[in-house]
């Protein structure tokens, strides 16, 4: 009897050992889906996570890590012409964790018309006569400082999409200020025809300039290499800028310490009523430089020196 019980116990123990050896290994599988949608500038993110427990009867051999492929799919649609790009990345996870990540990014089609406000340019300008910055006779005393400033404020600008958001026709309205700072102590007599002025080098001028203010209408072709990522886009633009004179003044500041004096006199300083200039822009991301040249004379005929205005500077808020 004892012999029979011993045999039965041995058989039962062997069964338990075998059962333990073939017990299936439990692996947790997770599937995460991340949707990032950019629709008209609004970002929506949706994350769905699904966890599944599965049994695996075969043990992993060798390295305890398993190589899982993570697939990232980027879909871009422009004007109905969709294109898919797949990037396969290999990443290692532990044997008890299997993760599948599917990331989908959708870009909306570019707008037909884009609008921007308060687009600003700032730089330096000077008078050009031929190939020189020297002012021709008999107005040599009107030679400018190198720090004469140019500022343009695009109040409203719009771009019409011509090709996949990369090529646009840009137009708008704005205001441009040209500050012309004199090297010498020049005081221009307002409303004089032709231009008359006096020179007083005894006063220690801290600021001595005349300023023109024009209402502007820019007309340009604008190119962006990557319209979906403005920070990683090559930018080019070229065109013309029309202007209509809406004001001018001379501003002077002189003196030392508490004895400083200043004056600002508005009037007619002989600037041309209308002008047309060439405009070019070049840059990458937020760093964009511009250049302008006005082939039309800065002053009215027989009112002032025969000079043109040239500008160069930075686009502070690229469009």
pLDDT in tens, 198-227: 888 777 788 899 999 999 999 999 999 988
- pLDDT for 93 equals 43
pLDDT tens-digit map of 138-180: 888 899 988 899 999 999 999 999 988 889 999 999 999 999 9
The pLDDT of 227-247, averaged and rounded, is 91
pLDDT interval class at 317 (50, 70, 90): confident
Model confidence at 12: pLDDT above 60:
no
pLDDT interval class at 261 (50, 70, 90): confident
Which residues does 179 contact at the CB level (< 8 Å), separation at least 6? 125, 148, 149, 150, 151, 209, 210, 211
Q: Could you give the count of Cα atoms lying within 13 Å of 279 in the half-sphere of its Cβ?
A: 26
- pLDDT for 232 equals 86
Global pTM reads: 0.65
- Relative to beta strand 97-107, strand 65-78 is parallel
To the nearest 5 percent, what fractions of the chain are helix, strand and coil?
Answer: 10, 65, 25
pLDDT tens-digit map of 16-47: 444 444 444 444 455 555 555 555 555 555 55
Model confidence at 256: pLDDT above 60:
yes
CB 271 within 8 A of CB 308: no
Query: Alpha helices, DSSP H only, in 155-204?
Result: none
Model confidence at 15: pLDDT above 80:
no
pLDDT tens-digit map of 278-301: 999 999 988 999 999 999 999 998
- pLDDT for 38 equals 53
Report percent pLDDT > 70 for the chain: 65
2 or 185, higher pLDDT: 185
CB 221 within 8 A of CB 237: yes
pLDDT interval class at 122 (50, 70, 90): very high
């Amino acid at each position: 009897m004892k012999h029979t019980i011993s045999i039965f116990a041995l058989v039962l123990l062997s069964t338990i050992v075998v059962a333990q050896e073939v017990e299936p290994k439990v692996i947790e599988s997770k599937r995460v889906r991340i949707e990032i949608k950019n629709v008209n500038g609004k970002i929506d993110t949706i994350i769905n996570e699904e966890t599944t427990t599965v049994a695996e009867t075969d043990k992993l051999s060798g390295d305890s890590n398993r190589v899982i492929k993570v697939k990232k799919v980027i879909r871009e649609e422009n004007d109905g012409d969709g294109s898919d790009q797949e990037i396969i990345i290999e990443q290692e996870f532990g044997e008890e964790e299997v993760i599948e990540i599917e990331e989908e990014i959708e870009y909306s089609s570019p707008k037909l018309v884009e609008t921007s406000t308060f687009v600003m340019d700032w730089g330096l300008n000077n008078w050009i006569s031929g190939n020189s910055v020297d002012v021709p006779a008999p107005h040599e005393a009107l030679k400018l400082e190198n720090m004469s400033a140019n500022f343009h404020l695009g109040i409203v600008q719009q771009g019409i999409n011509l090709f996949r958001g990369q090529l646009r026709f840009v137009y708008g309205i704005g205001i441009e200020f040209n500050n012309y700072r004199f090297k010498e102590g020049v005081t221009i007599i307002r409303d004089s025809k032709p231009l008359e002025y006096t020179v007083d080098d005894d006063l220690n001028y801290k600021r001595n300039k005349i300023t023109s203010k024009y209402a502007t209408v820019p007309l340009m072709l604008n190119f962006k290499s990557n319209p979906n990522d403005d920070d990683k886009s090559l930018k080019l633009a070229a065109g013309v800028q029309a202007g209509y004179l809406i004001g001018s003044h001379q501003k002077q500041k002189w003196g030392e310490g508490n004895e400083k004096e200043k004056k600002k006199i508005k009037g007619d300083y002989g600037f041309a009523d209308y002008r047309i200039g060439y405009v070019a822009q070049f840059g990458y991301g937020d760093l964009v430089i511009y250049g302008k040249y006005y082939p039309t004379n800065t002053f009215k005929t027989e009112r002032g020196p025969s000079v043109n205005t040239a500008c160069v500077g930075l686009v502070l808020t690229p469009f």
